[in-house]
Chain A
């Protein structure tokens, strides 16, 4: 029983990491129609910046969090402005290839600026073990689940009640017509990139705190993208759910069946679900009507 609970809890924590990055994929796709395959790498770089800030401030968690979040937004806005926006009129395949190219550059850039060795983040509060009724988890694991819950609540409120959030949905539905209402689509797209950067940056940094910081962190992006598909590409909240489903399934399969099947389990679920629901669990089916 305790073993099951441990598997569920750590599956939930890693699922929350996937979920946050999956939400990042989804919000950029929703606002721009683009898949940013450098999302995992951007989260990784934010984690490295957090590491550098933590080292420089003797592990001050507040300075580290604030500095990393500010960095993630500025970095994403720069990428969007310098690389993504100039390509807005190019074919979608070329634009997606650009993000794949960025991903490779970010990966090797990380190893150049920092190194290829695993590091401890040096944030005592985050890596301390907490006893949750017999199950011992790290502070950062709790942190990432809380971060996912906050992100989901914030996104639900944003898309339902905020005028800017409704405008983002309008842009997703028909950007040319949204412009006719006076929406500045570039502004909406920048906001999506910024929000995505914060979510995947928090995911990357908390993952690094709970487990370890290394250049293999980029693979979180690869694991999270299927969660986005599972939730429905344009469903930001559905993506969070997809991440949790994949995280928990991986852990259960790895724990009870065989560690070798762990990596495959998530993908098996995805294929099964997509065969029944091609738009994902929560994706919006296009309503076509006169």
Chain B
């Protein structure tokens, strides 16, 4: 299992990522994130959980400086990397400073080969680094080495997710953010992806920000868990503590509506079925 890498108590070093009282709106009107503060210490795995529409992806867009593309804006608060406010830092600078995102829905360049997709992830790297990094990615995902000449759009969902993760790793991130990596994948594939993420943290000390609806599995590899609902953090704490608290967790994952509250087991099975069908 993953060892929790706790920060030296009282150390002056700021967390790798800190979000402070962020309020994020789209089109100057739609309030997607009302007030969120969270902290991702160096070397930790932080899970950000919440149901659809909670504002999770919006936070990641703010982190990567891509909000403006959708007319979004951090209206209040701040996003700090190494204690430094990112402000309006352009995306390429943020990537250069060590933040990589595996976006929701993978977003591969469907018409490009696997290798070209992976190469794109190292866009800011020199030619010499590129070969070394690609070898590392193929080492981590041997299946991609076999498929390197294939068009990415025709791979299976699981292979596509491997490309998306491999592509993000090409930037040699210090902080790897993943937006719902399990979405639409068979449980077996999800296990593999999660094992890889856990390994990146344990072996390479990579800091992970894992965004998921799939709460149970994310909590298993996380050190700290934040639960988000309607643009707010409604619950947070160490993962062990949260794991033991199924009811609360279930409640905050959005299955509390009306009288027809299902048991956790039912919900889980339902989700599984849906995943297999998609």
Q: Which residues of A contact B (CB under 8 A)?
A: 163, 166-167, 169-170, 173-174, 176-184, 284, 286-290
Contact = CB atoms under 8 A, between A and B. Distances in A.
A177 B160 CA distance: 15
A287 B160 CA distance: 13
Interface stretch (B35-43, B114-122, B134-142, B202-210): B114-122
Given A174-B107, A176-B107, 11 more contacts: A166-B116, A170-B120, A173-B110, A177-B103, A177-B109, A181-B120, A181-B167, A182-B124, A183-B123, A287-B110, A288-B110
B91 A180 contact: yes
Given A169-B112, A289-B153, A290-B157, A177 B123 contact: no
A180 B64 contact: yes
Interface of B: 64, 66, 69, 90-92, 95-96, 100-101, 103, 107, 109-112, 116, 119-121, 123-124, 127, 151, 153-154, 157, 160, 167, 171, 184, 278
Nearest to A186: B90
A284 B151 CA distance: 12
A13 to B, nearest CB: 33
Nearest to A184: B92
A101 to B, nearest CB: 26
Contacts of A288: 110
9 contacts: A166-B112, A176-B69, A176-B107, A180-B91, A180-B100, A182-B124, A183-B92, A284-B111, A290-B278
Q: Which 5 pairs between the two chains have the least Cβ-Cβ distance?
A: A287-B153, A287-B110, A182-B95, A182-B92, A182-B124
Nearest to B183: A290
A111 to B, nearest CB: 41
Contacts of A173: 109-112
A180 B154 CA distance: 22
Nearest to B130: A163
B17 to A, nearest CB: 16
A179 B112 contact: no
A166 B154 CA distance: 18
A163 B123 contact: yes
Contacts of B184: 290
Contact of B91 (A163, A174, A179, A284): A179
A289 B154 contact: yes
Nearest to A160: B116
A182 B110 contact: no
A178 B124 CA distance: 12
Contacts of B278: 290
Contact of B111 (A176, A182, A287): A287
Contact of A176 (B66, B110, B151): B66
Given A166-B116, A170-B112, A177 B154 contact: no
Contacts of B91: 179-180, 182
B95 A166 contact: no
A183 B184 CA distance: 28
B121 A181 contact: yes
A180 B124 CA distance: 11
Contacts of B123: 163, 167, 181-183
A290 B116 CA distance: 19
Contacts of A178: 109, 120
Contacts of B124: 181-182
Given A169-B112, A177-B109, A163 B64 contact: no
A91 to B, nearest CB: 13
A226 B123 CA distance: 35
B182 to A, nearest CB: 13
A289 B66 contact: no
A184 B107 CA distance: 18
Contact of B110 (A179, A183, A289): A289
A166 B66 contact: no
